Amino acid sequence: MEIINRRKRMMSVARKLRREENRTIGFVPTMGALHEGHLSLIHEARALCDVVVVSVFVNPTQFGPTEDFDSYPRDLTRDSGLLAEYNVDYVFAPTVEEMYPPGFSTYVEVENLSGQLEGASRPGHFRGVTTVIAVLLNLIKPNFAFFGRKDAQQAILIKRMVRDLAFDSEIVVLPIVREESGLAMASRNNYLNDEQRRAATVLNRALSKAREAYEEGEHSAPRLIELVRTAIEKEPLARIDYISVNDDETLEKLDKIDESPALLSLAVFIGDTRLIDNVVLGRTKKQDAVGAKA
């Protein structure tokens, strides 16, 4: 496994793999602090592609000025050990200066989709995400790039960007990996103490209740949202940021869930830690069920 720090080296390695060796490249972008959620993406990339590239980069442009960029967990030694165990071929771990060289001034924004839900709570977040993913896709030009449904809106935006700007990569979106308790795995779970970790399980419990109600015939978005709100408000450590039901592709806010899949998503503070989770309703695929393991 080679760890690459330079854009130039990453570009030339990827070019050689594609052109001279004719090998399919699978790419998994991450911010490190790896857990089983990330590893499920890598596992799928390994199964589908000849060569697996994983990026580890805590991207400053997707953090707001008062957010946790400085304290975000970083441990490249631990991450590299895990990636080697998973037979990853290349780790791309650039510095901020390498990713954003002096004078960097080009940004990608998926209009409309980027200002809602997470984008409304975290202005500028998705501009940072889509810009860094655009750079990474251009450097590596993977055949497949893998993302988790944990960040459902992110996956929707990236699919749209790839379509609109004609990137030559296929986007693969994989199910949420959860702990036994139902808590969606996330690097930010590292911030939670034991009591908060227990409290955080309310997110999945509330979403599961909504899914059950939906399956029993409740298709009104406001009523499903109310059900989730009531469940979460029972947990004293939880403070709701938003709960929303949107079309799973256009993110249009829905009043009623009909034919097309609906994204029921939420963001909740447990103490100072902001957690997100979601479930897709109106689609019976097993992989989208709350609690499904990858």
Which residues are known catalytic residues? 38
Q: Does 43 bind ligand AMP (CB under 6 A)?
A: no
Q: Which of 277, 229, 283, 224 is nearest to 258 (CA)?
A: 283
Position among 17, 41, 134, 267 found at the interface with ligand AMP (CB under 6 A): 41
DSSP letter assigned to residue 101: -
What are the strands of the beta sheet with 273-281, ordered from one edge?
A: 238-247, 262-270, 273-281
Tell me, residue by residue from 157 to 176, as one string, x for binding to ligand AMP by CB under 6 A and - for no binding.
-------------------x
Among residues 184 and 232, whose Cβ is nearest to ligand AMP? 184
Q: Which amino acid is at 214?
A: Y
Q: Which span sits near ligand AMP by CB under 6 A: 111-119, 179-187, 208-216, 271-279?
A: 179-187
Please report how many Cα atoms fall inside a 13 Å half-sphere around the Cα of residue 231, on the Cβ side.
22
Interactions with ligand AMP, residue window 185-204 (CB under 6 A): 185-187
- Tokens of residue 209, six digits: 């209740």
Q: Which span sits near ligand AMP by CB under 6 A: 69-77, 145-153, 239-247, 253-261?
A: 145-153
Among residues 62 and 143, whose Cβ is nearest to ligand AMP? 62
- Tokens of residue 15, six digits: 């070019």
Q: Does 147 bind ligand AMP (CB under 6 A)?
A: yes
The helix (H) or strand (E) run that includes residue 45 is helix 36-48
Among residues 119 and 221, whose Cβ is nearest to ligand AMP? 119
Which pairing describes strands 90-92 and 51-56: parallel, antiparallel, or unpaired? parallel
Q: Which of 147, 157, 178 is nearest to 55 (CA)?
A: 147
- Contacts with ligand AMP by CB under 6 A lie at 30-31, 37-38, 40-41, 147-148, 150-151, 176-177, 184-187
